[in-house]
Structure 1
Amino acid sequence: MKKVLSLVACIGLSLALNAQNKKVFGMKDGELIHESSESYEWPTDAKVLEKLDKWQDVKFGIMYHWGIYSVPGITESWLLCSEDRFTKRRERVAPDKPYDEFKKWYWGLADSFNPVKFEPSRWADIAADAGCKYLVFTTKHHDGFCMYDSKYTDYGITKGPYKNGKYSDVTKHLFDAFRQKGFMIGTYFSKPDWHHKDYWDPFWATPTRNVNYDVKKYHKKWANFQKFTANQIDELMSNYGNVDILWLDGGWVRKPEQDIKMDEIVDKARRKQPGLIVADRTVPGCNENYQTPERVIPEKQINNPWETCIPLAKTWGWSPDSEYKSCSWVINMLAEIVAKGGNLALNIGPTPEGEIEQGAIDRLKEVGDWLKQNGAAIYATRTTPNYNCGKVWFTANKDGKTLYAIYALPEKETLPATIEWEGNEPTGRMTLLQNGKSVKYSCKDGKVTVTLPKGLKNEPLAFSFKVKK
């Protein structure tokens, strides 16, 4: 009877927590999204502020979702969750497997994950050619599988078939390769760990994403999980060279119900990584140094640090039927995000063998070619009050003396003969960034009309100019 009552209490607590989470989670096109926190607290640490300023300069990052879910090419971690939206997906993947069998099968994918074609320097070359400037890598997702060498669990890449591989400590070699290219380094880490018995205890059911027992009643058990989490994050802060960003997923793990003593974790991390940027997603306060709306772009300009993370394909991890969005889609989205004050972390899902698919490489290279010519309108820019007019997005250099206009050419449309916008009236020369040549323009009644030269490639355009005082 006591066990039954405990189970009922746990289910009630989980449902209550899940109801609370609806404030910060939503759906878009059938996919789970994280909405941005409603408030922001500026850091007070001078070194953090300095690093944030650098991060706001680089603008464009690459994110990788890579783990055991890549083996069959299914949704990362979430199929283990018994919330209704994910059980429907699980039915499509494994309609004949009862839940307990499915969990064994999913976690057993670790025995098949052997990325023998993984070359970290190749990944770094592709990202650098794309014009990306920072990395966010999934060192551990909610399923608990570690993509680094953790002494606190046997569930990780260095314990499976790839343990004797050339780059078995994937995170170490990936960070080293990207660091050599001058990238800022970001460590994605999931606060919940569904594989760990002190988060999802196998004695009880797992009705939601939350811890499946009463943490107040079983406080020693929760204390064990707190220590486990702190130890794993400390490994990443201690053994993997300079880290710029600690990107913490699983925003439902927070005070007061699921307190993992984040303040203490961050304090210790910054003793080893001074100036560390912490993104404790959807948890407003001193440990959310930048906000992270997911799969969406805020409707209006935001002048505190934020980042949108969006996959180049439909899914975060690799899928055997991946369809990649176009180069113009990426550029247009990047222009809008930067004009609104944010950064873009563009996600790629590597294959189970450890390669980046050619379709993704082709898109990334096109984006990089555009940025080589037009990057002045993106990198090291800041917002300007009049930041949008129709298809045109505006950014400014850091001293505010030069403005940039980016014409976001819609897919499958051709460049018009002229481009128009209101406000931001130029004075003097206007330059087309792709070739450094002057373009003709006129101003009348507050409207600017730019005449495009003939023979331009059918792609988004960027211009630089001074504005009238």
Structure 2
Amino acid sequence: MRRLIIFLCLFTISSAFAQSDAKTPAAAIDAFMDKRFGMFVHFGPVTLRGTEIGWSRNKEVSQADYDSLYREFNPVLFDADKWVKTAKDAGMKYLVITAKHHDGFLLWPSAVSAYNISRTPFKKDMVGLLAKACKKQGISFCIYMTVLDWHDPDYPIHSPHDSLRNVKGSMPRFVNTMKSELTELITRYKPDMLWFDGYWEKPWTNEFGREIYQHIKKLDARIVINNRLGKESEKLNENSVGDFLTPEQRIGNINMLEPWESCITICNQWAWKPNDQMKSLKECIQTLVKTAGGNGNLLFNVGPMMDGRIEQRQVDRLNEMGSWLKRYGQAIYGTKGGPYAPNDVYAATRKGNYIFIHVFKQIDVLKLPALNGTTVKSVKVLGGSALRFTQADGLQVTMPGKLPNDNCTVIAIQINGNAEKLPVIKQLQ
């Protein structure tokens, strides 16, 4: 009996240790990366001023004014189903909502912090409504969460511009609050991915990041987590906390070893700004294609207006991207980047025994470096006619006199082996 008790104690200790070192399953990370295209949504009371979320506090908007905006926040035209349908029609496979940004305001009714949406005239649980709409429409639901909070008295910094500091703050209390908020988010809304931000400020440490990571894993081991929970932001290594890299406002470099996702805005500002300049359809499509060609995901941001609607011009642009994906999506979803690195003429993706070349501009002949030991069986416009090609000196494809799509036309190259096993070639066109 005594031996049994000792065994059970050792088993319990061993299980607890294993749980404390929990990692996201590789299958969950792979499934996330296969999605390739998601919608980022930055939204909150600051839309009443049209300035940047969080960062305009104590800058364009005084702290007293900023922190009082929730009393007027009433996005009466918010429709979770329409937001999610906009994402789905754009060909997006997941949605990330800023449930809590650096200004500390919560878009869900919380028992932890009183500074939340239940105290606004709107009152409705925006996070819950989006989670429900995503589930109904088959979109993966994800949540953005900050690791800093300029509104919380326990956080030692109260301004993004270092004009105010609270030396009496308590990071242990702040981390416990964060754990409680995350427990609400995970148990209520069951997100597939958590997207953290705010790691750069001194009060946040790698140790806090690891503590939060393990807290999340105890609640739901399958959740994928970005690398901004820790201080290491450029590489995934022994100091990193999280599952994938997150280059911001730029397309990441081709990287076949580390999963990554670029977050980029459709306009210039993350939150809504009147008359903000919007990217052209060509830039939007080629941004997505170059990201996939580098083996990454694109998290494309919209900032809804103060009444809760996504601007119609942004909806129209996203619909145009969706139309392109209906034609060429098989060369984006579930693919790997390469084997050719993206350049100004084309990007490449691959799946099975196919290499997809995404051509950005009209050219007479597409010249590709040789793939040693590989024979090309056929070349055609994806969804269209066959093209003439030679393999004497690399691969040379005679292109159509007029590309079927001016923004990006996809050429499908069938080879005699597994394209996903080919090494990356970084030679330009």
Scaled to the shorter chain, the TM-score interval is 0.7 to 0.9
Q: Distance in 1 between matches of 2:261 and 2:178?
A: 25
The counterpart of 1:156, out of the listed 116, 119, 122, is: 116
Residues 23-62 of structure 1: CA deviation (Å, up to 9, x unaligned): xxxxxxxxxxxxxxxxxxxxx8675211100011110010
Q: Distance in 2 between matches of 1:80 and 1:380?
A: 40
1:333 Cα deviation (Å)? Answer: 1.1
Q: Which residue of 2 aligns with 1:212?
A: 165
For the 8 Å contact 2:150–2:160, the answer to whether it is kept is no
Q: Distance in 1 between matches of 2:24 and 2:408?
A: 36
Q: Taking structure 1 as reference, are residues 427 and 118 closer, same or farther at Cα in structure 2, changes over 3 Å only?
A: same
Structure with more contact order per residue of length (Cα contacts < 8 Å, sep ≥ 6):
1
Q: Distance in 2 between matches of 1:210 and 1:142?
A: 16
The counterpart of 1:439, out of the listed 383, 387, 393, is: 387
Between the two proteins, what is the percent identity of the paired residues?
Answer: 27
Q: Taking structure 1 as reference, are residues 368 and 192 closer, same or farther at Cα in structure 2, changes over 3 Å only?
A: same
Q: Provide TM-score, normalisation by structure 2.
A: 0.83
Q: Which runs of 5+ in 2 are unaligned?
A: 1-20, 233-238, 418-429
Q: Distance in 2 between matches of 1:233 and 1:46?
A: 17
The counterpart of 2:172, out of the listed 220, 223, 226, is: 223
Residues 322-351 of structure 1: CA deviation (Å, up to 9, x unaligned): 221122111111111111111100000001
Aligned AA for 2:280? Answer: S
The counterpart of 1:179, out of the listed 135, 151, 154, is: 135
Question: After alignment, is 441-450 or 289-298 more displaced?
Answer: 441-450
Q: Which residue of 1 aligns with 2:332?
A: 378
For the 8 Å contact 1:392–1:421, the answer to whether it is kept is no
* Map 1:23-422 → 2, pairs under 5 A: 48-80=25-57, 90=59, 93=60, 102-163=62-123, 168-200=124-156, 206=159, 208=161, 212-214=165-167, 221-240=170-189, 242-252=190-200, 258=205, 261-281=208-228, 283-284=231-232, 285=239, 287-388=241-342, 390-397=344-351, 399=352, 401-409=353-361, 415-422=362-369
Q: Distance in 1 between matches of 2:197 and 2:115?
A: 19
1:420 Cα deviation (Å)? Answer: 3.5
Q: Taking structure 1 as reference, are residues 235 and 254 closer, same or farther at Cα in structure 2, changes over 3 Å only?
A: farther
Q: Distance in 2 between matches of 1:45 and 1:232?
A: 20
Q: Distance in 1 between matches of 2:222 and 2:29?
A: 9
**Residue correspondences, number:** 388
Q: Distance in 1 between matches of 2:154 and 2:66?
A: 19
Q: Distance in 1 between matches of 2:205 and 2:262?
A: 26
1:431 Cα deviation (Å)? Answer: 2.5
1:290 Cα deviation (Å)? Answer: 0.5
Aligned AA for 1:467? Answer: I
Q: Which residue of 2 aligns with 1:450?
A: 398
Residues 264-316 of structure 1: CA deviation (Å, up to 9, x unaligned): 33223223323111114163345221010100123443531111000000110
Q: Taking structure 1 as reference, are residues 360 and 207 closer, same or farther at Cα in structure 2, changes over 3 Å only?
A: closer
Q: Which residue of 1 aligns with 2:4?
A: none
For the 8 Å contact 2:100–2:144, the answer to whether it is kept is yes
Q: Distance in 1 between matches of 2:315 and 2:397?
A: 36
For the 8 Å contact 1:440–1:452, the answer to whether it is kept is no
Q: Taking structure 1 as reference, are residues 254 and 448 closer, same or farther at Cα in structure 2, changes over 3 Å only?
A: farther
Aligned AA for 2:398? Answer: V
For the 8 Å contact 2:380–2:387, the answer to whether it is kept is yes
Aligned AA for 2:52? Answer: T
CA RMSD of aligned residues (A): 2.5
Q: Which runs of 5+ in 1 are unaligned?
A: 1-43, 82-89, 95-101, 410-414
1:453 Cα deviation (Å)? Answer: 5.3
Q: Taking structure 1 as reference, are residues 268 and 302 closer, same or farther at Cα in structure 2, changes over 3 Å only?
A: same
Q: Distance in 2 between matches of 1:420 and 1:395?
A: 16
Other structure's SS at 1:78 match:
coil
For the 8 Å contact 1:291–1:305, the answer to whether it is kept is yes
Residues 190-238 of structure 1: CA deviation (Å, up to 9, x unaligned): 1111111111577xxx574699345xxx58x332212111111111111
Q: Distance in 1 between matches of 2:291 and 2:193?
A: 20
Residues 340-392 of structure 1: CA deviation (Å, up to 9, x unaligned): 11110000000111101111011101111111110111110113343345511
Q: Distance in 1 between matches of 2:63 and 2:325?
A: 44
For the 8 Å contact 2:249–2:263, the answer to whether it is kept is yes
1:422 Cα deviation (Å)? Answer: 3.1
Q: Provide TM-score, normalisation by structure 1.
A: 0.77
Q: Which residue of 1 aligns with 2:415?
A: 467
Q: Distance in 2 between matches of 1:258 and 1:47?
A: 21
For the 8 Å contact 1:331–1:408, the answer to whether it is kept is no
